[in-house]
Amino acid sequence: MSAGFEFTQMSSWQALAAALRGKLLLPGDADYEERRHVWNGAIDRRPLAIAQCADAEDVSAAVKFAARQHMPMTVRGGGHNVAGLAVRDGALMLDLGAMNHVEVDPQARIARIEGGALWRDVDAATQPHGLATTGGFVSTTGVGGYTLGGGVGWLMRRAGLAIDNLLEADMVLADGRSIVANEEQHVDLFWGLRGGAGGLGVVTRFAFRLHEVGSVLAGAVFHPIGSAPDLLKTFRTFAADAPDECTLMLAFLTAPPAPFLPAHVHGTPAVALAWCWSGDPARGEQVLAPLMELGQPLARVGGFMPYATWQQTFDSHAPAGDRYYWTTSQFDAFDDAMIEALVPLAATSPDPLCEVHVHHLGGAVAKVPNHATAFTHRDAAFFINVIGHTAAAERFAAIRDWTHALRSVLSPFARAGIQPNFAGESSDLRGHAHDSAAQARLRALRAHYDPDGLLAPLRER
Ligand SMILES: Cc1cc2nc3c(=O)[nH]c(=O)nc-3n(C[C@H](O)[C@H](O)[C@H](O)COP(=O)(O)OP(=O)(O)OC[C@H]3O[C@@H](n4cnc5c(N)ncnc54)[C@H](O)[C@@H]3O)c2cc1C
């Protein structure tokens, strides 16, 4: 590279830095190292620069700058994407971390949320009004990427996916233009935003419908691993006609050294069934009773608590900076042969931090037609996420192999397609996250709104 080229580049960066209210971070700057790292510590990529956007005008300035230079861009919302889609070698990262303001209109039951907010920012603003909308199973996930990938969570069976509550999005397109997408303007784009997994523009502000959700009946029952087949069968039966106010999750995990668990099981494989009931608590007690009666649990925890408290309960299971590798599969049914295939491998993970999460869908999620949004697998009955997790670099290969082995044993039972939010690698998304009709429609939208593919999330790395 000639000295002249470097000089030209530097003067361009200076021009961008001068146009931003936020900071521009270049390699060598102290904060560059911190912000190039995302939640998954296994991702190690170096963007050309990081534009820390303070507002929508900063986003527009940065996008126009990149478009002029034909420079690929990535958007960092919460930075939680397991495949690390927020960061790419040789691209400009638009870091929306400072754009986390949430404004609530309690009368209209609408929250306006900036594109870099986390779900805990949303809860902090909505819960004082006794309101909430569907956010993640943990509170540290970014609203941005989560929503663009559909958004499943504790409230989904009552309130729908996050995208079912999305009213509109303020966006900066790949050419720097600012627009609003909703059911009346840029209607096709609004369709693609809801589950298309990004790459159609930068959302600077989301408007969401809110629901009356103050406290919920939530908790978990822990069993020894030997009870896993019976617990899965109970989960399956219960899920078949569970009321919409109820969302369950079953987890294979290593029993933590928690005071509520007997000391002799600490560090041994266990299984937990967790629930969130967001309706009338007295009815919830009745409906959930059969889940409490099974076998001889190691512990029962939970009670009536603010929704935000429950949403934060599992945050400590997913610390930033550890190494993660996930696979995900979805199912129309959950038969005994599948249970026999799943349990032995799920119970023998290579690292005590690994978990396997079994989820159901249905309820309000399944009431929206598959092609009403770009989230085209909403008619699946169940999905399973295999959470490879280790703090030790040398165990990463083992957790990756274990997640692949589990995916293989589950594959004969799985239906085609995956939920985009849980893809462990960007290659898992290609051709799998949407059915073929939706893929074609998304391709056409990307060709129209980002013809040079500058924001393309699935670009080869
Ligand atoms: C511990 C953990 C728990 C999770 N729980 C759930 C869950 O309960 N339900 C669920 O559905 N998913 C869940 N996920 C998956 C999560 O929703 C996705 O990984 C999602 O991509 C994260 O969004 P983010 O903004 O934090 O990610 P980022 O890594 O910042 O971004 C992910 C993708 O979205 C794009 N993007 C982000 N913000 C914007 C924006 N404002 N405008 C345009 N593009 C944007 C990025 O460019 C990138 O392509 C979880 C992930 C983790 C790590």
Q: For the chain, what's the residue count?
A: 461
Kind and range of the H or E element at 66?
helix 56-68
Lookup: tokens for 234 = 């109970």
| 119, 141, 248, 313, best to mutate for ligand 1 pocket (most atoms within 8 Å of CB) | 141
2 pLDDT tier (thresholds 50, 70, 90): very low
Write down the pLDDT at residue 9.
Answer: 65
CA atoms within a 13 Å half-sphere pointing along the CA-CB vector of 395: 17
Question: Thinking of the domain 102-212, which architecture would CATH place it in?
Answer: 2-Layer Sandwich (3.30)
**Contact 77 CB / ligand 1 (< 6 Å):** yes
pLDDT, tens digit, 9 for 90 and up, residues 121-170: 999 999 999 999 999 999 999 999 999 999 999 999 999 999 999 999 99
Provide the residue ranges of all domains of the chain, joining segments of one domain with +: 3-95, 102-212, 215-429
Shortest-distance atom of ligand 1 to CA 206: 41
CA–centroid distance, 83 to ligand 1, in Å, is 10
- Reference 432, options 325, 329, 326, 342; nearest CA is 329
Note the CATH number of domain 3-95: 3.30.43.10
Q: According to the per-residue pLDDT averaged within each range, which of 4-13, 103-112, 417-426 is highest? A: 103-112
Measured distance CA(17)–CA(8) in Å, rounded: 14
Measured distance CA(367)–CA(385) in Å, rounded: 23
Write down the pLDDT at residue 457.
Answer: 61
Instruction: Compute the mean pLDDT over every residue in the chain, rounded to the nearest whole number.
Output: 94
**Contact 135 CB / ligand 1 (< 6 Å):** no
Write down the pLDDT at residue 123.
Answer: 96
- Reference 39, options 89, 81, 11; nearest CA is 81
| 81, 155, 166, 248, best to mutate for ligand 1 pocket (most atoms within 8 Å of CB) | 81
Fold held by 215-429: Vanillyl-alcohol Oxidase; Chain A, domain 3 (3.40.462)
**Contact 195 CB / ligand 1 (< 6 Å):** no
Classify residue 445 by its DSSP letter. H
User: Is the fold of 3-95 the same as that of 215-429?
Assistant: no
